[in-house]
Structure 1
Amino acid sequence: MTHRFALPLIMAFASLSLPAAAQDVRKGDITISQPWSRATAPRATVGAGYAQIRNGGKTADRLISVSTPRAARVELHSMTTENGIMRMRPLSGGIALAPGATIALAPGGNHIMFMGLTAPLKQGERVPATLRFAKAGEVKVVFTVRAAGAAAPAHPHGGHQ
């Protein structure tokens, strides 16, 4: 009797991990894991995008730009702390991806800035975007919008660096 209920229960719990795995997108040597964003305030015109990007190849690549129909403009940015003050600056040359490296686009560090949002980002929404790499070309992803104060999701593949 207990075996009859065990398999469906195991399958139900196993399916809980599928959304995170389903968000991984791979093209050639590039893997983009867990693209996400935070919900924005009702009148916000800017938002940010985050993800883990792995270059599994033997040659360097570079994230050179991002686009989305949800924003008039998208820029790659870096956050640094100088004399105790956080400063954000655009990364006009893109973001380098060394062979075998994983980079984190995360709050407080390198990230994607969605500027001129067509509407505020709402929790649960899915935002399509295209990441352009110098060698891998275009990679289509979908950013999942999490709660306004959300922290980065745990990376399922451990801390590659």
Structure 2
Amino acid sequence: MIANWLARLGRALGEGMPRGLLLSRGTVLRALAIAAVGLGPFIYLGTLHREPVAKRADIGVVHPWSRGAARAGEQYPIYASFENGGRVLDRLIAVETPLARLAVMKELDRSSGVVRPIELDELAIPGNSRLSLRPGARQITLVGLKQAIEPGATIPVTFVFSRAGRVTTQVQVENRGQPEHADHS
């Protein structure tokens, strides 16, 4: 599919243009192919992270992620989306990781004009729906990191649900400069 698109684009760019503007169709195709390979991960951002990376019973964890670095002892937010493929509501009741002393579910309240984090005992995931944690809305905060975290690392996390039980996965630590994914917003 991409090869056909690149071939069509190369033909379109090469036809009717003075020879001095383009070295050759082959050069254009090679340049476009290199650009497509480099941009490939960003082109597919809208369709990336559709499948759960971990699943148990009706609950799937889709694209668990975090962003940036943190030092040992600090707090660190993580995010994920949860899909409930069943008909019955399930609840995220706990989050565990060996890399932090504690994990706290939070929602940011803006109703008073001042952003105030509110600790949550659980997160409800209705049947046949998806719940996404996002910056500025809901997050899981790792409190008392036991080691530094750097972009490119992974954080082992177990999400504990009232019905589905324990779902363990790895949270990807992304660079701060990476573009937002469709499921981050």
TM over 0.5: yes
Aligned residue number for residue 118 of structure 1: 146
Aligned residue number for residue 115 of structure 2: 86
User: Match for 1:68 among 68, 91, 97?
Assistant: 97
Q: Secondary structure at the match of 1:107?
A: coil
Aligned residue number for residue 108 of structure 1: 136
Q: Secondary structure at the match of 1:85?
A: coil
User: Match for 2:160 among 128, 132, 135?
Assistant: 132
TM-score (norm 1): 0.79
Pair 22,57 (structure 1): closer, same or farther in 2 beyond 3 Å: closer
Aligned residue number for residue 30 of structure 1: 59
* Contact kept? 2:71, 2:145, Cα under 8 Å: no
Structure 2 residue 87 is matched with structure 1 residue 58 = yes
State the shift of 1:84 in Å.
Answer: 2.0
Q: Percent identity?
A: 29
**CA root-mean-square deviation:** 2.9
**Distance in 1 (alpha carbons) for counterparts of 2:70 and 2:178:** 14
State the shift of 1:26 in Å.
Answer: 1.5
TM-score (norm 2): 0.69
**Distance in 1 (alpha carbons) for counterparts of 2:176 and 2:102:** 21
Pair 22,31 (structure 1): closer, same or farther in 2 beyond 3 Å: closer
Pair 43,131 (structure 1): closer, same or farther in 2 beyond 3 Å: closer
Structure with greater Cα Rg: 2
Structure 2 residue 80 is matched with structure 1 residue 48 = no
Pair 68,111 (structure 1): closer, same or farther in 2 beyond 3 Å: same
Please, which runs of 5 or more residues in structure 1 have no aligned partner? Answer: none
State the shift of 1:153 in Å.
Answer: 2.2
Pair 155,66 (structure 1): closer, same or farther in 2 beyond 3 Å: same
Deviations 1:86-135 (A, max 9, x none): 1101102x000111111111111111110000122210001111000000
Whichever residue aligns with residue 96 of structure 1, its letter is: A
* Contact kept? 2:65, 2:78, Cα under 8 Å: yes
The higher-RCO structure (CA 8 Å, 6+ apart) is: 1
**Distance in 1 (alpha carbons) for counterparts of 2:104 and 2:71:** 22
**Distance in 2 (alpha carbons) for counterparts of 1:51 and 1:79:** 16
**Distance in 2 (alpha carbons) for counterparts of 1:97 and 1:21:** 17
* Contact kept? 1:106, 1:152, Cα under 8 Å: no
